Amino acid sequence: MVEDNFVFIGKKPLMSYVLAALRQINEGNRTVVIKARGKSISRAVDVAEVLKHQFLPSATVDDVQITTELLTNPEGRESRVSSIEIFMSRGEGPQAPFPPPRAPREGPQGDGPQHDEEWEDH
């Protein structure tokens, strides 16, 4: 049986998991566990960081558990896969407000939106 406070990280967009974790914390679960395996481990860390720094600054990382799981594929072959569980709790401080939308920057002569040169393809 899977507990309600787990968020399993896969291949969906990052914000899907951030919002799922935020929903868990806001619906009464004091703790949320962000769990990932293999290549999704870095995405789990990103979810925890975005949750803490952009949505819930009072959130704390209570524990991080790193393990190796033994999985068996349908053909019966076993493989070892790294996994991570990040335990986060809400904390006592305020929830971060959503930032206001940014307006496009105008060019030097007011000729419409501009973008930073560092992002241009050369």
pLDDT (tens digit, 9 = 90+) per residue, 5-34? 899 999 999 999 999 999 998 887 889 999
Residue in the block written with tokens 């030097």: 108
CA atoms within 13 A on the CB side of 30: 3
Backbone angles phi, psi at 111, to 5 degrees: -95, 30
Report mean pLDDT in 10-residue bins for the chain, 122 residues.
80 94 86 95 96 91 95 92 95 56 59 50 46
pLDDT at 120: 47
> Cα–Cα distance between 16 and 94 in angstroms, integer?
22
DSSP conformation class of 53: I
Domains, the chain: 6-91 (3.30.110.20)
pLDDT at 109: 60
pTM surpassing 0.75? Answer: no
Give exposure, 48-81, as e/b (b: 16+ Cβ within 10 Å).
bebbbeebbeebeeeeeeeeeeeeeeeeeeeeee
